[in-house]
Structure 1
Amino acid sequence: MAAHSKENLMSLSMKTKSPVTFPCISKATMFALCRQALRRALVSPTLAPTSGLPAGPTLLANNFSVAATLHKLQDDWFMPAPKKWPKKNDEIEPPQEPGQPRNQAWVVHYRNQIRYSPKKMLPIAQMIRGMSVDEAIKQLTFVHRKGAKIVIEVLKEAQEMAVRDHNVEFKSNLWVGESFCGKAVTIKGIRRHARGKLGIIHYRYCHYFVRLVEGPPPKHYYDPPLTPQQKLEEFIQELRDRRVKYGT
């Protein structure tokens, strides 16, 4: 009787052809439900070993590897890291001729997606240009700002990289050849105002880049100011180099 009743119900449903109705769900809710279902599928409890299936811990380990891969892909898409700057560590200089001075070793390092405004980070990065590493770290300890603490950490990491990977003998025998920052992602938020109005909040991120060079620091990192005599000679040379149109 149960089999006949089941067949009767199936034939009745085929004859009526009643459409299947779904509740009205917005796109945001649908994506949220799909995301929750994906998380449950990836981080699932251990399954009992059955015929044709591997043991539970193996499936769980595979799930975690897939979740880590998806998380990394999301980070790379949403908060990308610089690609050209770290490749400078792989550059190889051509062989030198006998008698030429030895090329100075150098190392580049960076930190990406710092939750700090690039406008605030730029003066800190400019301050240590041309200093030795020890002097730069010493000066930054007196700057009571979040960016200074981050730059100190990056400088110490670059020191370790220089000794470990680039055959630098003494980590103190380095000076800051380049130090600058770049703009990263900017996330927009909303702040409630009076009378039902909204204001936009900008959460700014930045990248910090540094290059350490082996050897003592130079006397002048920037060009020294010109003397009055040099300024006069430069002005006279500009007058001699000028071109007068339609002149005889």
Structure 2
Amino acid sequence: MSFIISRIVNPSSAKWLYRSLSTTQCTRKMELGNERWHEPSSVPGTSKTYMWPSYNERVHLPEEGLIRPAYVTHMRSMIKHSPKRMWYYASFVRGLTVDEALKQLSFIDRKGAHIIREVIEEAVELAVAEHDVEYRTNLWIAESLSDVCDRIKGYRRHARMRFGIVEYKYVNYYVRLEEGRPPKHYYSVKEAKTPEEQLNEWLNEHRRKEIPRI
């Protein structure tokens, strides 16, 4: 039992566990932080390793009174696409259900939208096959991110023996699906508040003010 706990407890908070281990068990404390869910994983299409797929291997401590919904993380690397344009498609599907996101992306006839649709479908299959999600329609997009993966510079020949620099940009796309229904307002800024809530927020904001000392 001590060995199982030592593999799931955070290394920073597991010092109390080391004192209770026997001499033979103390050798296992070196394994803390070296589990497979702390190691970067390789992704098809590139030689780089990423931490995003490793979240699928993490083990969470049970908390009393808290039901943690199932989630799955998935990504695609080295996508030949503009980073600025991919950001629009990634932020477009945040907070939507999987069915609604796939339906909305099917109306956008762009390369980035097609790629994100494929990645979401792969994540749904991964959730059903490996994470025991009962209903594939009971998933929503909790996180949808993109960043720059690589920039490869090239040259373009112009007239009169001149050359111009060309940048070939590649991006990564990350998605995290979570089981359950999405929140009513994904962004708290857009949440509609009643007059009473606005008044209480205004009062609390002014009560937190401090008069600077001279």
> How many residue pairs are counted as aligned between the two chains?
170
1:230 & 1:196 partners in 2: Cα distance?
68
Q: Does 1:200 align with 2:165?
A: yes
**Residue number in structure 2 paired with 1:109:** 74
**Residue number in structure 2 paired with 1:170:** 135
2:143 & 2:192 partners in 1: Cα distance?
21
Unaligned runs of 5+ in 1: 1-74
TM-score w.r.t. length of structure 1? 0.62
Out of 154, 160, 163, the position equivalent to 1:189 is: 154
Letter in 2 for 1:83: Y
Does structure 2 retain, via aligned residues, the 8 Å contact 1:140–1:148?
Answer: yes
Does structure 2 retain, via aligned residues, the 8 Å contact 1:182–1:207?
Answer: yes
In proportion to residue count, which structure has more helix? 1
Cα RMSD for the two superposed structures: 2.3
Out of 137, 161, 165, the position equivalent to 2:126 is: 161
**Residue number in structure 1 paired with 2:17:** none
Q: Does 1:120 align with 2:82?
A: no
2:175 & 2:86 partners in 1: Cα distance?
13
**Residue number in structure 1 paired with 2:53:** 86
Letter in 2 for 1:164: A
Letter in 1 for 2:183: P
Cα separation, partners in 2 of 1:209 and 1:82, compared to 1, 3 Å: farther
Letter in 2 for 1:195: R
**Residue number in structure 2 paired with 1:180:** 145
1:244 & 1:162 partners in 2: Cα distance?
53
1:91 & 1:80 partners in 2: Cα distance?
23
2:155 & 2:195 partners in 1: Cα distance?
55
In proportion to residue count, which structure has more strand? 2
> For 1:177, what is the secondary structure of its paired residue?
strand
> For 2:135, what is the secondary structure of its paired residue?
coil
**Residue number in structure 1 paired with 2:109:** 144
Could you report, residue by residue, the CA deviation over 1:201-225 in whole angstroms, capped at 9, with x for unpaired residues? Answer: 1110000000001112221111104
TM-score w.r.t. length of structure 2? 0.72
2:74 & 2:46 partners in 1: Cα distance?
18
Letter in 1 for 2:149: A
**Residue number in structure 2 paired with 1:37:** none
Q: Does 1:237 align with 2:195?
A: no
**Residue number in structure 2 paired with 1:212:** 177
Runs of 4+ in 1 over 3 A off after TM superposition: 78-82, 225-240
Written as runs of structure 1 = structure 2, the 5 A alignment for 1:12-161 is 79-97=46-64, 100-161=65-126
Identity %: 44
Does structure 2 retain, via aligned residues, the 8 Å contact 1:79–1:185?
Answer: no
Unaligned runs of 5+ in 2: 1-41
* Greater Cα radius of gyration, structure 1 or 2: 1
Letter in 2 for 1:138: K
Cα separation, partners in 2 of 1:217 and 1:234, compared to 1, 3 Å: closer
